[in-house]
Amino acid sequence: MNNIGTLIVLTGPSGVGKGTLLRQLTQRHPALYVTVSATTRPPRPGEVEGQDYYFLTREQFQTHIDHDQFLEWAEYAGQFYGTLREPVFAQLQLGRRVILEIELQGARQVRQRMPEAFLIFICPPTWADLEKRIRGRGQDSEQAIRRRLEQAKLELAAAEEFDFQLINDDLETALQALATKILSL
Ligand code: 5GP
């Protein structure tokens, strides 16, 4: 298949502000295409089916795995998350910049399967700041929060594997740096 677009992966620990960065980025640059992932995690208040995620049962998720319909998928904090292959390739063939906002294991799978992808890691300014943001979200159980904190430590240790690292301290500064990098690809 002849892809003429650019595949961009955005990874970083839960709570680092990837979602906010991406929302702002796509508002300013509507030509960027952000994929909608599938997940088995229940929707948080305000999340919309088909917009934030495709919310699937484990059985539905497994069917996509069995049919090899995921570009990548991973288990994260006890739930499954995956990127459907088809929309990604369709947009790449249109020549667009396609952004996947995914966790570390998924990023590694993309690196293997599509080595031409550009991988970006978003870091928090400090660990204390990240813990505050994860706890401050107030929408997850204490158990889920602990799992996310453990996972965050593992993810931060892998930041060096990425092509580009960005510290999300001041939102506007991070946004400008991210936009400049992505639009240069
Ligand atoms: P959350 O439950 O907070 O929405 O997402 C938890 C983690 O799953 C985040 O790090 C997010 O980037 C990641 N994630 C979301 N969608 C996907 C996906 O399609 N594949 C993978 N591997 N991770 C994902």
Cα 98 to ligand 1 centroid, rounded to whole Å: 16
**Mean pLDDT confidence for 86-102:** 97
pLDDT band for 141, please (50, 70, 90 cuts): confident
Looking at CATH, the fold of the domain delimited by 6-184 is given as: Rossmann fold (3.40.50)
Query: 3-state secondary structure string, 136-161?
Result: HCCCCCHHHHHHHHHHHHHHHCCHHH
- The two tokens of residue 83 are 């990127």
Q: Which stretch of DSSP H or E encloses residue 127? A: helix 127-136
pLDDT at position 97 over 90: yes
DSSP 44: P
Q: Rounded CA gap, 121 and 41, in Å?
A: 23
The mean pLDDT of the chain is 95
Q: What pTM was estimated for this model as a whole?
A: 0.94
Neighbour tally for 54: CB within 10 Å: 16
**Mean pLDDT confidence for 139-168:** 92
Cα 176 to ligand 1 centroid, rounded to whole Å: 23
Q: Are 14 and 152 in contact (CB under 8 A)?
A: yes
**Mean pLDDT confidence for 70-74:** 98
Q: Which residue ranges make up each domain of the chain?
A: 6-184
Cα 168 to ligand 1 centroid, rounded to whole Å: 18
Torsion 29-34-36-41 (CA) sign: negative
Residues facing residue 165 across a β-bridge:
121
Q: How confident is the model at residue 137, as a pLDDT?
A: 75
pLDDT band for 104, please (50, 70, 90 cuts): very high
Using a 6 Å CB cutoff, which residues line ligand 1? 14, 37, 41, 72, 74, 76, 81-83, 101-103, 105-106
State the closest ligand 1 atom to the C-alpha of 12, by its place in the atom list counted from 1.
10
Share of the chain above pLDDT 70, in %: 98
